[in-house]
Chain A
């Protein structure tokens, strides 16, 4: 159930995600080791364009990647196809994107 477009979207989003995942883990380790408080973290992320771009790109890549991955699993385990499968793929992507965008907005917007 993957044509070339979906396949490339999934591979390219994975390539985008790989360095971002490492960056995210590094940030987590740093924040915990350094004993940063919530207020200190928000103080650095709020109003920061670089953090908005970092996590914004992350959320976009995750939404694309996960929606396509789940599409394959759902098709191969339940046999869902056609319109239903399209709606599922887009629905998953949009829900993930909205949830992620909300979280990114909450930590990076003033």
Chain B
């Protein structure tokens, strides 16, 4: 097949937090090849010491995100043909996160902020009370539903220039999660959520340029969620003073 005679020039970041460099590999092109297929081919056929991360390969687990030609992508669902620059690919670890080794970014800061933004569910009832009924049509539930497909891939976090400039900024995914909980009928203490997201590292620092929404592979909209949080926080400013 003529498809198989073509090769891709793939530059892959090799190194750790201390430093590193791009290393170029020639990879046979295939039909319907994903970026993750390319990385796996390198690890299996060219250099078994290449470190990277993936699990589901179907866009469910959120572990395979990398920078591809300078843009954050979920590599298991990104077709090479859609991102190829000539016959070149440049693959690097996710932006805005420390590097463990090669293509594996350290996700700890991303998840630490998820918790810091109040992302842990705090139930308002105990297991001994009856289950609270929630109508799927209730407006808060409808709003909360918009973001529940987040797979924690950190693509939005890597795309966010505010995170790049302010390392404490909680980032789009964590703030979107806070907005989901804020709208969740089962959550009682809304004030605690607003407190968690309105500090000097919180939603008020978002520049509203929307790279998060542009790059989210699940087509979620953290930008609008953050706008909702800003409105809620600003309203509470007057209400709490009154």
Binding site for B on A (CB under 8 A): 1-4, 6-8, 11, 72, 75-77
B200 contacts partner chain A, Cβ-Cβ < 8 Å: yes
Say yes or no: A3 contacts B165, CB within 8 Å: no
Q: How far is the CA of A8 from the CA of B200 in the complex (A)?
A: 13
Cβ–Cβ < 8 Å partners of A72 in chain B = 205
Say yes or no: A4 contacts B237, CB within 8 Å: yes
**Secondary structure of the A contact surface, majority rule:** helix
Q: Can you name 25 A-B pairs with beta carbons within 8 Å? A: A1-B200, A1-B205, A2-B200, A2-B204, A2-B205, A3-B198, A3-B199, A3-B202, A3-B204, A4-B199, A4-B233, A4-B237, A6-B204, A7-B204, A7-B233, A7-B234, A8-B234, A8-B237, A11-B234, A72-B205, A75-B165, A75-B166, A76-B162, A76-B165, A77-B165
Smallest CB gap from B162: residue in A? A76
Q: How far is the CA of A76 from the CA of B166 in the complex (A)?
A: 6
Smallest CB gap from A8: residue in B? B237
Say yes or no: B237 contacts A3, CB within 8 Å: no
Q: How far is the CB of B131 from chain A (nearest CB, A)?
A: 35
Q: How far is the CA of A72 from the CA of B165 in the complex (A)?
A: 10
Q: How far is the CA of A76 from the CA of B164 in the complex (A)?
A: 8
Say yes or no: B204 contacts A4, CB within 8 Å: yes
Q: How far is the CA of A77 from the CA of B166 in the complex (A)?
A: 9
Cβ–Cβ < 8 Å partners of B199 in chain A = 3-4
Q: How far is the CA of A75 from the CA of B166 in the complex (A)?
A: 7
Cβ–Cβ < 8 Å partners of A8 in chain B = 234, 237
Cβ–Cβ < 8 Å partners of A75 in chain B = 165-166
Q: How far is the CA of A7 from the CA of B234 in the complex (A)?
A: 9
Smallest CB gap from B198: residue in A? A4
Q: How far is the CA of A71 from the CA of B229 in the complex (A)?
A: 22
Bitwise interface map of B from 198 to 222 toward A, beta carbon under 8 Å scored 1, else 0: 1110101100000000000000000
Given A7-B204, A11-B234: A1 and B166 interface contact (C-beta under 8 Å): yes
Q: How far is the CB of B229 from chain A (nearest CB, A)?
A: 12
